[in-house]
Amino acid sequence: QQQVKQSPQSLIVQKGGISIINCAYENTAFDYFPWYQQFPGKGPALLIAIRPDVSEKKEGRFTISFNKSAKQFSLHIMDSQPGDSATYFCAATPGGTDKLIFGTGTRLQVFP
């Protein structure tokens, strides 16, 4: 019940295209859903986050879509750029805790 399942494992997108990464969870007690971006040799960094009372959140080219009934959430990167090439992790926080349960990660490569 504490897992977050992420797909795809890897993604190749052409510059200017849309990158979509999906995550699903089973524990309905999760109440905070951040996405982290990690470049090689660096620690993860928060990209964008959403709470379950909102169905969508947009920050620049990055959008989180959240489907509470389906227990799924996704990251959309519009107009993908080579600089977006990184590994992306979805995560979720169980209610009443401060923990982050991470998905398995998606390696995104954006080619010019």
Partner 1 sequence: DAGVIQSPRHEVTEMGQEVTLRCKPISGHDYLFWYRQTMMRGLELLIYFNNNVPIDDSGMPEDRFSAKMPNASFSTLKIQPSEPRDSAVYFCASSLSRRDTQYFGPGTRLTVL
By CB under 8 A, name the binding residues for partner 1: 32, 34, 41-46, 49, 89, 93, 97-105
- Looking at beta carbons only, is 64 or 80 nearer to partner 1? 64
The answer to whether the beta carbons of residues 89 and 44 sit under 8 Å apart is yes
- Looking at beta carbons only, is 77 or 105 nearer to partner 1? 105
Longest CA–CA span in the chain (Å) reads 44
CB of 50 to partner 1, least distance (A): 13
CB of 42 to partner 1, least distance (A): 6
**Could you tell me which residues come within 8 angstroms of residue 33 by beta carbon, excluding any fewer than 6 positions away?**
23, 49, 50, 51, 52, 64, 66, 73, 90, 91, 92, 93
Per the structure block, which two tokens stand in for 27?
A: 């524990």
- Looking at beta carbons only, is 6 or 80 nearer to partner 1? 6
CB of 9 to partner 1, least distance (A): 11
